[in-house]
Structure 1
Amino acid sequence: MSKVKALRELINSGKIISAPGAYDVWSAKLIENAGFDVAYMTGYGVSASVLGRPDIGLMTFSEVAMMAKNIAFATNIPIIADCDTGFGNTLNVIRCVEEFEAAGVAAIQLEDQLMPKRCGHMEGKVVIPKEEMVAKIRAAAYARKDPDFVIIARTDARAANSFDDAMDRAKAYVEAGADVIFFEAPQSVEEIKTVAATLKVPLISNMVENGKTPLLSEKELQELGYRIVIYPLVALYAATKAVMNTLDVLKGSGSIENCLENGVDFPTFNNAISLPELRRLEESFYNK
């Protein structure tokens, strides 16, 4: 089964999909190795990984597309790719869909912010007119070759304008052809419930540490009707803390021996990165 078809079936299963955020290829592999069925390629994390800069619209189309291609190639689970605003107008969105679908991802997320965009839980967001985003979604639906390729429409209008405007936009995006709605940054449990009760389509919930949205469990979100929950920052923040702490120990002690308990060992890492399997494959061509 293709990864695109697999994601569609997961969405239609009624069981909530848990998708931690991958900020590079290795983090995506670790998500897969941990047993998750889907990974979410986080723009916030990719910006940090590739540029060492915040998620404020600095990533180029080619940089994001290359990361998506590398992650999709290296993993066997469906990848949801954060494609920001689609990198331009409707024609740019068409190219975006073509390239990301060809790259092997199972879904793309397009948002209605004005470029340069901002992380969904940052201040200062501005959204484009609803009609412009509707046209982008129509273009995305037009461009996909595989009808199972998932188009996710995200609205940031809750913070930029109002809750009611965001709801109105979400309904319009569904009519335009979006398969999944990402209502970004509801600010209370009541708003989370209202979104789910009103929008009778698959929904994404974004659980961000210390963000604007109350943190709910997967069980709670599934009971409300959400189909996907993403954790875009959990791996990035955990890795950042672990590396910072380990480097502090190394800097302070001047000995790698004091850092050993903070990391995996050489054999463990080699096993995780599939070295034994690749060695066996390599040898198989000599033992015919």
Structure 2
Amino acid sequence: MSGLIAADTPASTKRAAFRAGLTSGTIQQFPGAFNPLTAKLIQEIGFEGVYVSGAVLSADLGLPDIGLTTLTEVSGRGQQIARVTDLPVLIDADTGFGEPMSAARTVTVMEDAGIAGLHLEDQVNPKRCGHLDGKAVVPTGEMVRRLRAAVSARRDPDFVICARTDAAGIDGVDAAIERAKAYADAGADLIFTEALHTEAEFEKFRAAVDVPLLANMTEFGKSELVPAKTLEQIGYNAVIYPVTTLRLAMFAAEQGLREIAETGTQAGLLDRMQHRSRLYELLDYERYNEFDSGIFNFTLRADTGQGKGQQR
């Protein structure tokens, strides 16, 4: 049954792998998974980790990314995703779902869900998508208290606490750098600066901050899409692609549904679909069948008067 139903790798091992990856000199690529099946695909293709985006979870629920989701919803989806993969999972915990004791509770809930790390941001509630205008950030001291509470609640020392700052788009890169230094001093293991515009800004940030850094390569936002190798050469330690898989899937779904609406059949779409056999392969259907057969392999013999079936 190894690897069926749930991944074999314990959460502690995934967290240790995440920490080791951040100091390996190789950039850790974490594509976003909008569901557990996508996480299985991310692992099969060979990425280093899986990301769970708050924007994606909101969109999946038919909501905008403005802080409407709850800790229960986010941790529940994170647990579903972490359960099926041997890779570490980094999750978007928004502002920690409250102040600052709620941020502490968020850490314990995410640990219990099997997550390898989370990021907390310094936006004011209600938050906005990091690549939209009109954001506001809390005072640095308030975010420092949020982070210290989160760090104090951590039980597994390998659980990664990442601090995200949205200050670059509001007060400039220099202000974001000062905040990042304060957040690192408060115990953040990883710094995520949202909405840097150019490769030069990523370089400036790396030169100024002496802690592991995470880059966000989201499409249609404010950041130039910098290749992973270039980010690695600059000195970044991790990169997320938060909404990519959802955007790909939704584009394909919309195109297909429009064709069915227009033609009355999906016959012309078959070459753009994942084949049933490929889905079964990804789900490991054959091994489930073998497991089923190995368990339910009894036959009923002729009645011996005791009225019991004899297991073979």
Identify whether the pair has TM-score above 0.5, normalized to the shorter chain: yes
Shift of 1:137: 0.8
Q: Secondary structure at the match of 2:149?
A: helix
**In structure 1, what is the Cα distance between the partners aligned to 2:267 and 2:199?**
47
Matched, 1:229 2:236: no
Render the CA deviation track for 1:98-132: whole Å, top value 9, x for unaligned: 00011001000100001111111011111111001
Contact 1:23 1:43 in 2 (8 A): no
TM-score normalised over the length of structure 2: 0.89
2:224 to 206, 214, 217: 214
How far apart are 1:279 and its partner, in Å? Answer: 1.4
* RMSD value, Cα: 1.3
Is the partner of 1:22 in helix, strand or coil? coil
Shift of 1:29: 2.1
Which of structure 1's runs of 4+ aligned residues deviate more than 6 A? none
Residue 267 of structure 1, aligned match among 268, 272, 277 = 277
Which of 73, 77, 84 aligns to 1:74? It is 84
Shift of 1:209: 1.2
Distance 1:31 1:220 in 2: 21
2:51 alignment partner in structure 1 = 40
Secondary structure of the residue that 1:153 maps to in structure 2? strand
The letter of the residue matching 2:59 is A
Question: Once the 2 structures are TM-superposed, how far is the Cα of residue 160 of structure 1 from its aligned partner?
Answer: 2.3
Q: Structure 2 regions of 5+ residues with no counterpart?
A: 1-8, 298-311
Q: How many residues align?
A: 287
- SS of residue in 1 equivalent to 2:16: helix
Comparing 23-32 with 193-202, greater Cα deviation is found at: 23-32
8 Å CA contact retained: 2:256, 2:266: no
Task: In structure 1, list runs of 5 or more residues that go unmatched.
Answer: none
Larger radius of gyration: 2
Which position in structure 2 is the counterpart of 1:130?
140
**Structure 1 CA distance, aligned partners of 2:150 and 2:70?**
19
Q: Does the CA-based 8 Å contact 1:166-1:183 persist in structure 2? A: yes
Give the % identical residues.
41
2:41 aligned partner: 30
Residue from 189, 192, 214 that aligns with 1:179: 189
> In the aligned structure 1, how far is the partner of 2:42 from the partner of 2:65?
22
